[in-house]
Amino acid sequence: MNMRPTKLSKDVLDKLPPAASGQYVVRDTEEPGFFVVVGARTKTFTVQVDVVSPLGKRSTKKRAVGKWPEVSVADARKAAREAKVEIAREGGGREGGALTFGAAWAELRAAMEQDVAAGRRSAATVRGYDYSYRLLSDWERTPLARLSDHTPEVRKRHRELTASSGPSAANGAMVFLRRVYNYARKRRLDPKLPAFNPVDSIDFNPQRRRDTAMSAAELPGWFKKLAALPNPVRREFHLFCLLSGSRPGALTVARWEHLDMARRVLHVPLPKGGERRAFDIPLSREMLACLARARRAGRMVNAVNAAEWIFPGEGVRSHRGDFAGHIVAYQEDREALPKFGGDLRQTYKTLSPEAELFKTDVMILMNHADGDVSDGYMTRSKVAEDYLRGRQEAMSRYIMDWCRKRG
């Protein structure tokens, strides 16, 4: 018996009954070609790739990548992706000798995973590309050269994705395809790959940055709703997002070892842009008080996780099916808390002139890339920490004064 495909997770694996006779397969909806083979006593993670050799011979290659529970689902998925790369290097992953889209992505993904492990790239970038790949996964066995030669198909797919997944997701999928194609050309994964990138034929959807910032007058109402959230760790997380103007993804993985009380900074080792953009967040008195409350709250929510993570999770699974230990999904019901995440980062930047911060102050405090060439010559490490902390104090004071106003 073969079961319906599902997203493999610990819960799913635990509940799979032993095979009454022979074996049965449960395919993963997250990673193409990845599945678990269930026998009477074992559950074996396996990856399958249909390939065509340069001589045109078709074959299906399978490879076991671990047994449950000795190997976790996340590690098995990673091993499956690496196995796809190895199969591609052995001559698989090609149609009639031409490099396929799926094989090229497997190569790029393996390189990106190495960068993540070395601290040069954020894992969030890889997850974003995984999502884009799923939108284009029916091209897995399509030769990249064919996409270059048939650009109307690429433009049609962009229009279809715009209708089904939205303008932003459609644009993101095409940016991803361009990256895969360029990587394949640069690495000469297929020497016959045409120079023309098929994405160059696309007219991207116009996108405007959403204006989701709050005005100062909206802060008291937001602060009141924040205080009503039942989880104290999440309350302090959202407040710290507002007070720092930082990207929420970077704060979810903040550890206590990153906090330097002597210098009064929180180090962010792997922000958006990777290790080379690592920076320190100067901490105001309000921010230090927020972190102190987060420490106490964390010990109440999950003492084990709180020993490592500034904003610990409750011990439940993340949306990727693994135990993260820290907050992963920071979104709230908009009725409970109307603004969070990127909204708070926008609010910080919007209110900064009212707190009398200069543009360069905000750029440094938010670790924000700026288009001004002259600003590019400014070296963050040379700007006095005392000065930046003073600017942060002014910003926190302005925000909290408004948050505590009574109507």
The whole-chain average pLDDT of the chain stands at 87
Q: How far is CA 144 from CA 149, 150, 157, 203, in A?
A: 9, 10, 15, 20
- Is the pLDDT at 3 greater than 80? The verdict is no
Residues 249 and 357 occupy one common structural domain: yes
Q: What is the DSSP string of 179-243?
A: HHHHHHHHTTSSTT--SS-GGGG--PPP------PPPGGGHHHHHHHHHT-S-HHHHHHHHHHHH
60-74, 169-183, 361-375, range with the lowest pLDDT: 361-375
Residues 251 and 341 occupy one common structural domain: yes
Residues 364 and 263 occupy one common structural domain: yes
- The arithmetic mean of pLDDT across residues 389-398, rounded, is 96
The answer to whether residue 290 sits within a structural domain is yes
Q: How far apart are CA 131 and CA 180, in angstroms?
A: 14
How much is the pTM?
A: 0.62
Give Cα 346 distance to the centre of its chain: 19
User: Which domain does 1 fall in, by range?
Assistant: 1-70
The answer to whether residue 75 sits within a structural domain is no
The answer to whether residue 166 sits within a structural domain is yes
Residues 19 and 148 occupy one common structural domain: no
Residues 294 and 160 occupy one common structural domain: no
The answer to whether residue 247 sits within a structural domain is yes
Identify the domain boundary among 145, 178, 208: 208
The answer to whether residue 87 sits within a structural domain is no
Any idea what the CATH number is for the domain that residue 305 is in? 1.10.443
- Is the pLDDT at 66 greater than 70? The verdict is yes
Identify the domain boundary among 208, 232, 252: 208
Residues 330 and 284 occupy one common structural domain: yes
Residues 230 and 343 occupy one common structural domain: yes
Which tens digit of pLDDT belongs to each residue from 286-311? 999 999 999 999 999 999 999 999 99
